[in-house]
Each structure stands twice: as structure tokens, then as C-alpha cells.
Amino acid sequence: MIHLPERHIGDMKKLILEMSDYQPAKIDYPQYTASELDAINVYQMNSDSNGFEHLAHVSLDEPNLTVRWVKMDVDEGWKNIMESCRELHEAGYPGCIGCGGPNSELPWDESRNRLRYTL
């Protein structure tokens, strides 16, 4: 589930259409909803608890350490998300190897990632 500002809903609809063009057999698309917050929040269903787990947050406001933080202005962050999705589609995701770039297969370290913002 993706919660994003109303001004980005049109882009999200276009992205879903692009996904269907690149993956015609796909029938399960991300769900999304407009949010009054000036942030983008991504949630994933937790199979253990049957609830949603906060996965990622795009905003200049820091979330708790269990959430992957993309410290960017929301509009700039959304632009980067859209570009990344298009690049992954063009590269053949989900069937491409190494689409995520160097070290993309390594475990994520959110604490280490946030240190980049403080240096």
C-alpha cells in the first residue's frame, strides 16, 4: 500500500498502466491512496500479524529507525521513484539480474544509510 499526496495520484495511475504494458501477465498491482500528509509512505502486508508494516518514508521528516528513510523533498523524491521504476521496467525487472546496481543484493543497513545524511 502506498500513501501519497493527492497531486501524485495521476502519476501513480500512469505508472500502473506502464507496469501492465511491460508485464501483461501481471494481475496484482500496488494499491495506493491519497494522503493529506506531505510525505510518501510505503507499507507491506506482514504475513505474521496480518497487518501493514511501514516499509519506507519519503520526506524531510525522519521516521523511526525501522523504516527506510529517503530524505528528500516529497516532489523530488516522487520524481526519482518514477524514474527508477521506468528504468527497472526498461531493464526487464523483475527478470533482470543486477538491476539494482552494485551491492543491491546485500542486506540493507538503515542506520548506516542515515549516517550519510549527517556527514
What angle separates helix 74-91 from helix 9-22, to the nearest 10 degrees? 10
- Whether 24 has a pLDDT exceeding 70, the answer reads yes
- Pick from 95, 104, 111, 79: which is nearest to 15 by CA? 79
Contact (Cβ atoms closer than 8 angstroms) between residue 27 and residue 98: no
Q: How far apart are CA 70 and CA 56, in angstroms?
A: 7
CB 4 within 8 A of CB 75: no
pLDDT in tens, 56-104: 999 999 999 999 999 999 999 999 999 988 888 777 766 566 656 666 6
Mean of per-residue pLDDT scores for the chain: 86
Distance CA 92, CA 23 (A): 9
The CB-based long-range contact list for 41-47 (8 Å cut-off, 24+ gap) reads 41/2, 41/3, 41/4, 42/1, 42/2, 42/3, 43/1, 43/2, 43/3, 44/1
Q: What percent of the chain has a predicted confidence (pLDDT) above 70?
A: 86
C-alpha cell at position 27: 494481475
